[in-house]
Structure 1
Amino acid sequence: MIFGVAEKPLARMLLPVIALALAAGVGLAFFIAALVRPPELPVDTNPAPLAGHTLCAAVVVTFASEEDMRAAVPVLRDDPKARRVFVDPPSVSLLAVPGTDLKAWAFQLHARYRTAERVTVIDSDTTAAQLNLTAPPPKCPREGEY
């Protein structure tokens, strides 16, 4: 006696295999991205003295008086874009969370703090001028300070 073997169409067998391979590939891509991504930077907005820190990517808000600066510090600490806050009367230097556009943030801070004398962005060009460098300074680390 001869038994007939039912053949499954190739498409019915191939579709689950392809779906499984795609799911495994996507999972592997997310795993590799998590390994390659740099760790999150710590957020500590408790005001610290600026002395001893060389900033290379920050926003500096300069006030007319130390009293104006002290009045603004609590609000600046709560800004979601602030990662670190340094004080040096009468100014506050702010390091941003990664991905923040410093120039746009400086513009927003200038609009928000009308008592501020000026709001400036410290970047690699500003750092080179401050350190009297004739060559470009070393690449600014993602922490925002050397």
Structure 2
Amino acid sequence: MPAYSPSSDSDDEPYSTHSLFRRQNSLHSLLGGGKVADILLWRNKHLSGGILAGVTVLWFLFEVVEYHFLTLLCHISISAMLLVFIWSNGAALLDKAPPMIPEIILSERAFREVASAFHTKLSIFISFLCDIASGKDLKLFLMV
């Protein structure tokens, strides 16, 4: 069967075998043509396989083992702290450089601004909770 060109506007002719959805663009360009398209089309097999393996492990943890997200987050942070502790102490024994962890240095003025903003939001939230607990808004009180 010969391939028809999509140059005609007639709806009677069959689609071209080289076009997708009556376009001359490839599927890669329809998906954006970037890294996401490469991953979805498995052009970068290692990255696509890694993403598939990671999502499969997360699905297994959350659905099969019934692991909770907060527990997973805590275990990851504890493991990271343990790894940095071992790396820092082991580096001195092996005469290597310890890990370079950037320090966040806030000026006293910036610290006051952050603390002030946090304090105002916290006081607004606490007053909102007090309003609910006192029953000033009966509908909201009963919903809670």
The TM tier, using the shorter chain, reads under 0.3
Structure ranking higher on relative contact order (CA contacts 8 Å, 6+ apart): 1
Tell which structure's C-alpha radius of gyration is larger: 2
Structure number with the higher helix fraction is 2
**TM-score, with structure 2 as normaliser:** 0.19
Structure number with the higher strand fraction is 1
